[in-house]
């Protein structure tokens, strides 16, 4: 546990949880859009987390653009249920991913007010890393 105080709550400390996860992404389903507009799609998400965060998550992703040529965006919400370093509960994660000109920008944040059980009051960000097709996470979080 890192003892870095939060500006909002000087007593809160920042912790880091690391591990991996398996993800199953459902097939793309077309979403309604304007005639002649950019196509929009959604895909279901199912994840199994291991390491400091153990449990499962279910969510949905929405996408636009042309990912096959590296020009696209996605948003997603997922709901995690399980344990985070021994604390049982749940919380939601919000994703915003952009890719353009060979660069990717991904932000995954804990949804404010979504923590339940022993994870009530959680805030933070999740960093995603993919190596040889294997997904890893680092969740930097605070519990108030």
Residue 7, pLDDT > 60, answer no
The 10s digit of each residue's pLDDT in 35-56 is 999 999 999 999 999 999 999 9
| pTM for this predicted structure | 0.88
Which comes out higher in pLDDT, residue 129 or 10? 129
Domain ranges of the chain: 16-23+40-143
Any idea which fold 16-23+40-143 has? Answer: AOC barrel-like (2.40.350)
- Mean pLDDT, the chain, rounded, equals 91
For 143, how many CA atoms within 13 A lie in the half-sphere containing its CB?
Answer: 19
The 10s digit of each residue's pLDDT in 99-110 is 998 899 999 999
């Amino acid at each position: 546990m890192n003892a870095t105080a939060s500006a909002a709550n000087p007593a809160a400390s920042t912790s880091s949880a690391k591990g991996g996860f398996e993800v199953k992404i459902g097939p793309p389903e077309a979403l309604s859009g304007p005639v002649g507009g950019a196509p929009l799609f959604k895909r279901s998400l199912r994840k199994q987390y291991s390491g400091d965060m153990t449990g499962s998550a279910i969510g949905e992703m929405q996408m636009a653009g042309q990912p096959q040529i590296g020009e696209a965006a996605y948003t997603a919400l997922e709901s995690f249920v399980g344990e985070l370093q021994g604390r049982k509960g749940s919380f939601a994660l919000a994703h915003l991913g952009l890719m353009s000109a060979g660069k990717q920008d991904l932000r995954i944040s804990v949804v404010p007010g979504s923590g339940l059980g022993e994870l009530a009051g959680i805030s933070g960000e999740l960093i995603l890393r993919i190596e040889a097709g294997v997904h890893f996470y680092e969740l930097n979080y605070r519990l108030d």
